[in-house]
């Protein structure tokens, strides 16, 4: 509830109307991408929205479109295994409620996405960290992960690719997670909101059709189609038949209690999904260009570097750990009007890492990277 030093400095900066070069923006609707606005608005104007057909899983037409999205990726997902939710965050809360009693544990990667603490806290779930190691690329420390499992552990979250490290789970990781979870009555919870944004050539597989262990796969339109304002997401159950039958029955009770996704948005989901191609092409092109520009600027000095990134919307920049990263972020704001996230917001080591968004327009990103390096080098 208490603001940190950086958020106070940012509020003060904004209050006096000083210009801000914000390298943290991750709201795609603010990044100058071209959307088909009339298709988006027309999709919301459907006469079928004048009647109400409650269904705990969500309208079948929308779920068919979601199954079609996976079919395009050559993954078979049944419409009966899909539940629509208003956000991936809401899908997490359904999954936590399905798997956990108060005080049960879910493992999460560290570093990762800061919202997990809130999502778990609200559901009385305890989070247990498992470390990711960096050595020319990120990988799961499976030894530490297995050590972290207690009798109260109910699931392992995999963010595929992870935010902000940008690494994907590899086939060998999936096999190992399947083996760990299937032998211990635990579920894999795969967050695939950034799956469609590979920054290298390989196209990683989804967990949505994983049958080697109890699995929940979460995704949604906030990232896939760049439409966070529409509040449309889903979760999919897959795995051993017996487990899946019970999980679907429990999920049905939770989803039926809220029936949370509104009808106009459900009816528009097929059209919103169609828009993903144009959106993703723009994001991937921009993120790759921004990474290339960052590398070009980093090549002119030896003090800062960037960590390897395979996909997603963020890059991690290594800076000298000679002073607190919060002080550096505040100085960047005060002297250059540049906003960055200190890595420790994501549980990167306390000092020496900054996280920047790759969604920012190329010209601003280039100016921001130059300002950042000028302040440090
Ligand atoms: C890894 C990850 N999962 C989920 C979300 C949230 O997605 P939604 O808007 O569907 O709640 C985010 C948002 O930044 C994210 O980074």
Give the DSSP letter of residue 230: G
Pairing of strands 187-191, 126-134: unpaired
- Residue 119 Cα to ligand 1 midpoint, Å, equals 11
Q: Whose CA is nearest to atom 12 of ligand 1?
A: 193
- Residue 181 Cα to ligand 1 midpoint, Å, equals 24
Q: What is the pTM of this model?
A: 0.97
- Residue 140 Cα to ligand 1 midpoint, Å, equals 21
Radius of gyration of the chain measured on its C-alpha atoms: 21
SS3 of 126, please?
Answer: strand
List phi, psi (to 5°) of 113.
-85, 125
Q: Whose CA is nearest to atom 7 of ligand 1?
A: 88
Please write the tens of the pLDDT for every residue from 212-238: 999 999 999 999 999 999 999 999 999
**At 178, is the pLDDT very low, low, confident or very high (cuts 50, 70, 90)?**
very high
Please write the tens of the pLDDT for every residue from 110-162: 999 989 999 999 999 999 999 999 998 999 999 999 999 999 999 999 999 99
Q: Whose CA is nearest to atom 5 of ligand 1?
A: 88
Q: Which residues contact 35 (CB under 8 A, 6 or more apart)?
A: 29, 226, 275, 279
- Residue 50 Cα to ligand 1 midpoint, Å, equals 30
Please write the tens of the pLDDT for every residue from 19-53: 999 999 999 999 999 999 999 999 999 999 999 99
Using the predicted structure, report yes or no on whether residue 60 has a pLDDT greater than 90.
yes
Question: What crossing angle do the helices spanning 263-274 and 60-72 adopt, rounded to 10°?
Answer: 20
- Residue 132 near residue 140, CB atoms below 8 Å: yes
């Amino acid at each position: 509830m208490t603001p940190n030093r950086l958020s106070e400095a940012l509020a003060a900066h904004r209050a006096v109307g000083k210009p801000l070069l914000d390298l943290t923006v991750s709201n795609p609707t603010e990044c100058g991408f071209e959307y088909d606005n009339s298709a988006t608005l027309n999709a919301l104007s459907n006469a079928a929205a004048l009647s109400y057909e409650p269904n705990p899983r969500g309208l079948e037409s929308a779920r068919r479109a979601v199954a079609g999205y996976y079919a395009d990726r050559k993954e078979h997902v049944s419409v009966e295994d899909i539940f629509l939710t208003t956000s991936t965050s809401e899908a997490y809360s359904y999954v936590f409620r399905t798997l956990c009693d108060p005080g049960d544990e879910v493992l999460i990667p560290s570093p990762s996405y800061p919202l997990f603490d809130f999502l778990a806290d609200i559901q009385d779930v305890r989070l247990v960290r498992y470390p990711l190691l960096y050595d020319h690329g990120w990988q799961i420390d499976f030894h530490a992960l297995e050590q972290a499992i207690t009798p109260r552990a109910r699931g392992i979250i995999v963010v595929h690719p992870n935010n902000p490290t940008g690494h994907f789970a590899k086939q060998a990781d999936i096999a190992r997670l399947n083996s760990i979870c299937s032998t211990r009555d635990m579920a894999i919870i795969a967050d695939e909101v950034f799956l469609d944004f590979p920054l290298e050539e390989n196209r990683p597989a989804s967990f949505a059709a994983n049958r080697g262990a109890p699995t929940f796969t979460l995704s949604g339109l906030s990232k896939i189609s760049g439409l966070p304002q529409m509040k449309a997401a889903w979760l999919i159950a897959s795995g051993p038949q017996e487990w899946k039958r019970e999980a679907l029955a429990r999920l049905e009770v939770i989803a039926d209690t809220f029936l949370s996704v509104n009808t106009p948005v459900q009816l528009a989901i097929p059209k919103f999904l169609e828009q993903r191609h144009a959106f993703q092409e723009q994001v991937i092109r921009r993120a790759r260009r921004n990474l290339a520009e960052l590398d070009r600027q980093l090549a002119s000095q030896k003090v800062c570097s960037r960590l390897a990134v395979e996909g997603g919307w963020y890059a991690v920049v290594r800076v000298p750990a000679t002073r607190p990263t919060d002080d550096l972020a505040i100085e960047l704001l005060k002297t250059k009007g540049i906003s960055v996230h200190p890595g420790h917001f994501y549980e990167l080591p306390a000092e020496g890492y900054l996280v920047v968004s790759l969604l920012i327009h190329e010209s601003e990103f280039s100016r921001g990277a130059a300002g950042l390096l000028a302040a440090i080098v």
